[in-house]
Each structure stands twice: as structure tokens, then as C-alpha cells.
Amino acid sequence: MADTVDLFVIGGGSGGVRAARVAAEAGARVALAEEYRMGGTCVIRGCVPKKLMVYAADFSAAYQDAVGFGWDPVTPRFHWDRLIAAKDREIARLEGLYRKGLETAGVRIHDARAVLDGPNAVRLSSGERITARHILIATGGRPFKPDIPGAELAITSDDVFHLPGQPRRVVIQGGGYIACEFACIFNGLGSDVTLVHRRDELLRGFDRDLRAHLAAGMAARGIALCLRRNITAIARAGDALAVHLDDGGVLDADCVMMATGRVPNTAGLGLAEAGVVLAGNGAVEVDAYSHSSVPSIHAVGDVTDRLALTPVAIREGQALAETLFGPAPVRPDHALVATAVFTRPEIGTVGLTEDEAREEYDAVVYRAEFRPMLATLSGREERMLMKLVVDAASRRVLGCHIAGPAAAEMIQLAAVALKMGATKEDFDRTVAVHPTAAEELVTMRRPSG
Ligand code: NDP
């Protein structure tokens, strides 16, 4: 007799794991299939290992800054293999915790690939067929590489965490989160980095002051920004690589990384055959409750191409499980989601950019740019940027944008205020914490425009 569950989750990443656990805790019979490692992109080859590498990269600046505070200069040596081994141990530990959390909740784990076999069944690579009242597609995304000659010679963010050694010269293509973050990581670790991006500015969609500030900060750290350029071909040149650009230029590199976006992982899952409507890029089309066009099939996380961020996938997974097995339907809230880019300078942002706000509102902008205190004695040429975008009529703060040390930590708390509908006067009434950079957020008195 065929095995039957209430919920079968395909994909053991952030969204799938949360949905499975919450559903099981609500009493549902739940099974989850993961073909690779439990934890998905975030834990295995994304946010977590990336942040560990950001920490590693930051020590080079700390060693230099220490001299201004009375420490002897040292010439530290970085060992790539030690970092990778330590990072791998931590990732294995986290993977174990994810697995244990599922098992404790009573979720049956299948270490196998699952594909749909109609709207109410999955077939596992082990040959097993399982029927399910509901199926959740939480298969995430994968890196996309432009189709150019020699593209196979370039790595993506999937490979960067396991390079056998630290590349001396790195060329990165793209101007988004991953390109900018890894440009800063490799730069901090001591590699020569060139970032090739097809536009004038990095981080499309972010506030324009943040974009300018980031580019200036990255350039000041020695990252070569090759803007308005595209890579047309990559070829082997002895032990190295020759990177051909569309202006005829050629860059020498030991490693080329394509960070040119990600695409939803839906190929070969049997979705179209089961009647699920997919968008042009393969994303599962879902409604506000994460239901697909087939009543028994749902999708959360990057595979839906809404907001490709881990905490958003977790919220979507939680909401779906509550909708299916809780007392009332729950819609995940995609408004005012704060996000951070772990570049150097770091970026934290929530709400409307200045340009977006001006389209909809009579917007006033408050802006502070200053030298962070650490940079005074260290002598580092470093500026910090903070910006509040305010609706002149209601005085509500519509957007908060920060570039500089600890921007990611600050923006989380600013997001609480924005989510509560804080006005500029609410910020002003809040007494500063001194001496911090964050105090500038509550002491910007005069609009800058
Ligand atoms: P992004 O979509 O952020 O950036 C992709 C970049 O590649 C853009 O600059 C884009 O340029 C460029 N690009 C796309 N196609 C081509 C092409 N054919 N030729 C040349 N350039 C191209 O994707 P990422 O891969 O950086 O990251 C994927 C997603 O993962 C992010 O959007 C984010 O949601 C998530 N993420 C979040 C992180 C965080 O929270 N800190 C960290 C890393 C990833 P253009 O701007 O012109 O389109």
C-alpha cells in the first residue's frame, strides 16, 4: 500500500525546514526530501559560510587599525585551508542541528531527490512513491551564468566555498549582493580584486546615496571597479585565465566568479506536468498564501522569486504551515523587509529609497555623513552614511539607509520602528546612545533636501 502523508516538503532549506517543523508540531504527518545537504543555500553555500568569511576578511583591517591605537604593527599570514576547514566544521554542526530539529518534531527525512508524480504524489530517487494531501515546493534557486565562451571556467557562489586555495587575482562579474560581498571578502583576505559590472553603479534598486557610497568605499579599499563593461569570453592562459571584456580589454585572473543572479530550481520536478503554472524564469507562481495554481501544491522561498532572502523564506514557510494546519490562514508579510549587504562598507536598508519615495510622496531627506570614531585614531579614510527618507505630510519615516560599520545590526532595529509607523519626531524624541554611530539616526535635525 502506498505511503501517505499530510505534507510532503521537497527541499531542506530555510523555507522547507520551517514549514515541515511547524506542520509536524501542529500534528500533521510530514515528510521532507533533500537531495544534497540539510540546510539549503543559506546554511551550506550562502549566508552562513559567507558571513564566516566576512569575519575572516575583517581581521586584515583590524590588524592595520590597531597600530593607531598603540599596537605594534604585525605582518599576519592568512591560511585559506584553515579557514575553509573551520568553516566546514561549523557548517556540518549546523546541518546536524537542522536535521535534529526536524527529527525531534517528528518529520520523516528522505535523503533523496523527489519529483512530483501528479498533484498528490512524489517519487523518490530511491524508487519509493509517497502520496500526500499537500506538497510544498521549497527547492530554492541556483546560480545563473551568462552563456559566453569559456563560462565553464568561471566559478559561482556554489564553488567559492571550496576553492583549493586562495586565488591571488580574482575577477568577479556582477553588481548585486553576491558580487559586491565576495569582492570585499577577497579584498579583505588580500587577493587583487576586479569587479566587472555592466552598469554605471552597483546594487541596482538600492538608494542612490548607498550605491555611490559603496562604490567609493570599495574603490578606496583597492577593489578595481570596471563599470559599464561585460565579460565576453574566458580562456585559459597557461596556469591562469584571460578574461576578455567588451571594450577589447583583457584581464589576467587566477579565478573568475560569476555572480550574475540566481534562477529558481524547478527543472525536472514534474511541475508543469502536474499542472503547476510557472513564470517565464521557471519560478512557481503563487498567491499571497503561497498556493500554486494546483490546490494541493504550494511553494515558498527562492523558488517563487518573490524576495530571495532567507528570513523571508522562513516567514513564508511558517505562514504556509499555519495556513494548512492551523486555525486560520496566514499571509506572509512582505512589506518593509530590511536587508543587509555584507560589503565593506556594510549596507543596511529598509523601506523606500529616496527616488521611490519622491514618486509617491512629498518626501524630505535627512542625511548624515561622518567619520566613524574608530577611523579617527586608525587614520583610515572612512566615511559613514545615514539617511532617513520622510513623508513631509505625515512625517512617517518611509526609508532608512545606512552604510558603514554595523549597518546590518542597526537596520534590524530601525526596521522595528518603521514597521510600527514611526515618525521623524519619534526618532527625534529618542535620546541618543553616546558615543555610537547609531545616535546619528536620532540627531539629524535639518533636512538635506
Ligand atoms: P542579484 O540579482 O543581486 O545581482 C545580479 C547581478 O548580476 C546584477 O548586478 C545584474 O546586473 C548582473 N547580471 C545579471 N545578468 C547578467 C548578465 N547576463 N551579464 C552581466 N551581468 C548580469 O543576484 P546575486 O547573484 O548577487 O544574488 C542573488 C540573490 O540572493 C540576491 O538578489 C539576494 O536576494 C540574495 N542574496 C542576499 C544576500 C544578503 O541578504 N546579504 C547575500 C547574497 C545573496 P543588473 O543590475 O544590470 O541586472
pLDDT digits (tens, 9 = 90+) for 286-313: 999 999 999 999 999 999 999 999 999 9
Residue 2 pLDDT > 70: no
Q: Give, for ligand 1, the residue of 227, 260, 334 to mutate: max count of ligand atoms closer than 8 Å to Cβ.
A: 260
Closest ligand 1 atom number to CA of residue 205: 46
Residue 1 pLDDT > 60: no
Amino acid at 52: L
Q: What is the DSSP string of 11-37?
A: --SHHHHHHHHHHHHTT--EEEE-SS-
pLDDT digits (tens, 9 = 90+) for 346-390: 999 999 999 999 999 999 999 999 999 999 999 998 999 999 999
**Can 244 be counted among the known catalytic residues?**
no
Helix (H) or strand (E) holding 235: strand 231-237
pLDDT confidence tier of residue 3, bands split at 50, 70 and 90: confident
Query: What does the alpha-carbon distance between residue 396 and residue 424 come to, in Å, rounded to a whole number?
Result: 6
pLDDT digits (tens, 9 = 90+) for 159-211: 999 999 999 999 999 999 999 999 999 999 999 999 999 999 999 999 999 99
Find all residues with CB under 8 Å of 296, minimum gap 6, and list them. Answer: 119, 120, 132, 133, 134, 135
The model scores a pTM over 0.95: yes
Instruction: Using alpha carbons, list the distances in angstroms from residue 376 to 275, 289, 291, 437.
Output: 62, 50, 53, 13
Segment 13-20 mean pLDDT: 98
Amino acid at 126: S
Query: What does the alpha-carbon distance between residue 172 and residue 75 come to, in Å, rounded to a whole number?
Result: 27
Q: What is the pLDDT of residue 390?
A: 98
Q: What is the DSSP string of 368-414?
A: EEE--THHHHH-----EEEEEEEETTT-BEEEEEEESTTHHHHHHHH
Amino acid at 49: P
Segment 424-429 mean pLDDT: 98
pLDDT digits (tens, 9 = 90+) for 329-338: 999 999 999 9
Query: What does the alpha-carbon distance between residue 238 and residue 413 come to, in Å, rounded to a whole number?
Result: 51
pLDDT digits (tens, 9 = 90+) for 73-115: 999 999 999 999 999 999 999 999 999 999 999 999 999 999 9
Query: What does the alpha-carbon distance between residue 161 and residue 179 come to, in Å, rounded to a whole number?
Result: 14
Residues of the chain with pLDDT > 70: what percent?
100
Q: Please state whether beta strands 141-143 and 262-264 pair in parallel, antiparallel, or not at all (unpaired).
A: antiparallel
| Alpha carbon distance, N-terminus to C-terminus of the chain | 70
User: Which residues' Cβ are closer than 6 Å to ligand 1?
Assistant: 146, 173-179, 181, 197-199, 204, 230, 259-262, 308-309, 339-342
Per the prediction, the chain carries an average pLDDT of 97
**Residue in 110, 334, 401, 434 annotated catalytic:** 434
- The C-alpha cell that represents 236 in the structure block: 585559459
Residue 263 pLDDT > 60: yes
Q: Which domains does the chain have, with CATH numbers?
A: 3-142+263-325 (3.50.50.60), 151-260 (3.50.50.60), 339-442 (3.30.390.30)
> Which protein residue's CA is at the shortest distance from atom 15 of ligand 1?
260
C-beta neighbour count of 78 within 10 angstroms: 14
Mapping DSSP to helix (H, G, I), strand (E, B) and coil, where does residue 429 land?
A: helix
Find all residues with CB under 8 Å of 126, minimum gap 6, and list them. Answer: 110, 112
Centre of ligand 1 to C-alpha 143, Å, is 9
Closest ligand 1 atom number to CA of residue 308: 34
Q: Which residue has the cell 597557461?
A: 238
Contact 281, 263 (CB under 8 A): yes
